[in-house]
Amino acid sequence: MTGPNQTSGPSGPPVIGSSSAGPIQTSGPSGPPVIGPVLLSAEALTKRFGATLALDALDLQIAAGEFFALLGGSGSGKSTLLRIIAGFEAPDAGRLLLDGRDISATPPWARPVNMMFQSYALFPHLTVADNVAYGLRRAGVAAAERAKRVGDALAMVGLEGFDRRRPHQLSGGQKQRVALARSLVMRPRLLLLDEPLGALDAGLRERTGFELRALQRATGAAFVMVTHDQEEALALADRVALLDGGRIAQLGAPRAIYEKPASRFVARFLGAANVLEGRAAEGRFESAEAGITFAGDIPPGTVAVALRPERIAILPAPADGPNRVRGTVEDVAFRGDDSLLLIRTEAGAVLRVAHAEEDGAPPARGAVVGLGWEPGDVVALPA
Partner 1 sequence: MRRGRALRWAMGLGFAFLWAPILLLVAYAFSADRIPYQWGGFSLRWFAALAANERLVEAALLSLRIAAGAASLAVLLGGAAGWALARFGPFRGRAVFGALIGAPLVLPEVVTGLSLLLLFVALEAAIGWPAGRGATTVLLAHATLGAAFVAVVVQARLADADRTLEEAAMDLGATPWTAFRTVTLPLIAPALAAGWLLAFTLSLDDVVIASFVSGPAGTTLPIALFSMLRLGLTPEVNALGAVVVLGVGLMLGLAALLLRPRRG
Give yes or no for residue 88 binding partner 1 (CB under 8 A). yes
Cα separations in angstroms, 267 against 71, 81, 227, 264? 13, 23, 17, 5
Q: How many CA atoms lie within 13 A of 349 on its CB side?
A: 16
- Stretch touching partner 1 by CB under 8 A, among 39-47, 122-130, 143-151, 241-249: 122-130
Shortest reach from residue 108's CB to partner 1, in Å: 5
Instruction: Report helix, strand and coil shares of the chain as percent, to nearest 5.
Output: 25, 35, 40
Shortest reach from residue 294's CB to partner 1, in Å: 48
Cα separations in angstroms, 181 against 114, 220, 237, 298? 11, 15, 20, 50
Give yes or no for residue 334 binding partner 1 (CB under 8 A). no
Q: Are 231 and 263 spatial neighbours (Cβ–Cβ below 8 Å)?
A: no
Sort 24 into a burial class: Cβ within 10 Å, 0-12 / 13-18 / 19+. Answer: buried
Rounded Cα–Cα distance for residues 9 and 64 (Å) = 25
Give the footprint of partner 1 on residues 302-321 (CB under 8 A): none
Give the footprint of partner 1 on residues 184-213 (CB under 8 A): 186
Q: Which of 149, 177, 182, 205 binds partner 1 (CB under 8 A)?
A: 182
Shortest reach from residue 215's CB to partner 1, in Å: 18
Shortest reach from residue 178's CB to partner 1, in Å: 12
- Stretch touching partner 1 by CB under 8 A, among 59-67, 130-138, 321-329, 370-378: 130-138
Amino acid letter, residue 24 = I
Shortest reach from residue 117's CB to partner 1, in Å: 5
Q: Which is nearer to partner 1, 76 or 114 (CB)?
A: 114
Q: Which of 33, 107, 172, 348 binds partner 1 (CB under 8 A)?
A: 107
Shortest reach from residue 141's CB to partner 1, in Å: 10
Give yes or no for residue 135 binding partner 1 (CB under 8 A). yes
Sort 100 into a burial class: Cβ within 10 Å, 0-12 / 13-18 / 19+. Answer: exposed
Residues that bind partner 1 (CB under 8 A): 86-88, 107-110, 113-115, 117-119, 121-125, 134-135, 138-139, 166-169, 182-183, 186
